[in-house]
Every structure is written in C-alpha cells, then in structure tokens.
Amino acid sequence: MPEAFHPLRDWLGIASPPEQPNYYQLLSLDPSETNSEAIKIAADRALAQVRSHRPGTHARQWAQLLDELTAAKQCL
C-alpha cells in the first residue's frame, strides 16, 4: 500500500518530515546557518522545487507550502 501524500516528502524530498518543521528544516539548512546568501539560495531552490509540481487536488497544501517557504526566506 503506498504512503499517503505528504507535501514535504513528496515535493521537497524530506525523507522523514517533522510534524511542525521550523524554517531551517523547510530549507534543509543547518540551524547554525547565518550566511544570508546561502539562505536565499536554499529558499529559492525549495520554492522552485515546489513550483515544478502541479498541485492538482493538493492546491491548498501547495499554496500553503509556498507561503511557508517565502516566510522562511524573509525571516531568516
């Protein structure tokens, strides 16, 4: 039986997604990362990765994940 859809696993490739990921986890960054250029690159990569998928029946989750990734980029 296939696993249920999970946006972090299926769209971002996070193998064991946490229940409530923090911004660093969303961007696959070490929590000690402070380099603003590295953070921007990671955020842009994650946004592009999610946007490359057609949301279909998961449009609400797709939009929410894009919003969370944008918030992470702006906050960090």
For 14-40, write each residue's pLDDT tens digit.
988 888 999 999 999 999 999 999 999
| Mean pLDDT in residue range 54-66 | 95
Q: How far apart are CA 28 and CA 31, in angstroms?
A: 9
Question: What six digits make up the tokens of 21?
Answer: 């990921």
pLDDT score of 1 more than 70: no
CA dihedral angle for residue 12, residue 13, residue 15, residue 17, rounded to 10 degrees: 10
pTM to 2 decimal places: 0.91
DSSP H or E stretch at residue 26 = helix 23-26
